[in-house]
Structure 1
Amino acid sequence: MDEVVAAAVDVFARRAYDGVSVDDLVIRLGVHRNSLYGAFGSKRGLYLAALRHHIEHDVRPHLDRVAQPDHVPTWDLLLVAAVDRAPDDPEVADLVLSVFAEMDRATADPRATEALLGRWLLQRPLKAKEI
């Protein structure tokens, strides 16, 4: 199931939570609907598993690079979650805010997180990506 969760990171990062249907997940991840529900309970369950996976495998191992001005992270799911889901989902908000606090502690500079978010936004293409 780790491969499914890792693939879900990319799907949710590209289209955000509301832009992804269960049918999209079934097709993109190559799993049966019953398997998805059996393993994760719901689309939200898979989303939370993907966000946690992304934080543990893609974000936390690279927190020491946050303050580097040339560092533009590939943390799309974390940053999309901050904008897309965190305002409406307290569990997502807790995950996102805890990672942002870790970034601030890792750099001893709260502005490092702001600068990182700005660099990330500036490097993202403005057109929609296809799955």
Structure 2
Amino acid sequence: MPEKKHKGTAKHLGSRLRQWRKTIPMKSYELAKLIKISQGSLSDIENEKSLPSADTIAKLYQFSNLNIVWLLTGKGPMTRDETGSAQEEGMVSSMLEQYGEDQKLREVIEKVVRIYKKGGLEKRAHLIGFVNGADPGE
């Protein structure tokens, strides 16, 4: 069966994904495990034999700093801004003020923010997984 050739914005998606992965640096099996797809599927995407599913793209967004617009179009920066927006910084400051009396909670909030911003992809993924699993809901 002939190899599919993608057109339009998806034309070089696989090579862009590989280019980004090598800047992390992360082995293909590590990224595949992180976003919960097989290493073969990731290889097919990076070798432009297939396109990622919407779920795979969502997981790349959730567990990494990859700029999905860049991945899909090649336009803009390769990664999202890691410094956080003013709105995010304001939310953290507000939380710290609100729970300022509780020193242990304040320390936990500061650690969570630090891990999320500086801990790398794997630590961020673990943090998100733990928080989602531990959340009792509202």
**TM-score category (smaller protein):** under 0.3
Bigger relative contact order, structure 1 or 2 (CA pairs below 8 A, ≥6 apart): 1
The TM-score normalised by the length of structure 1 is 0.28
Whose radius of gyration is greater, 1 or 2? 2
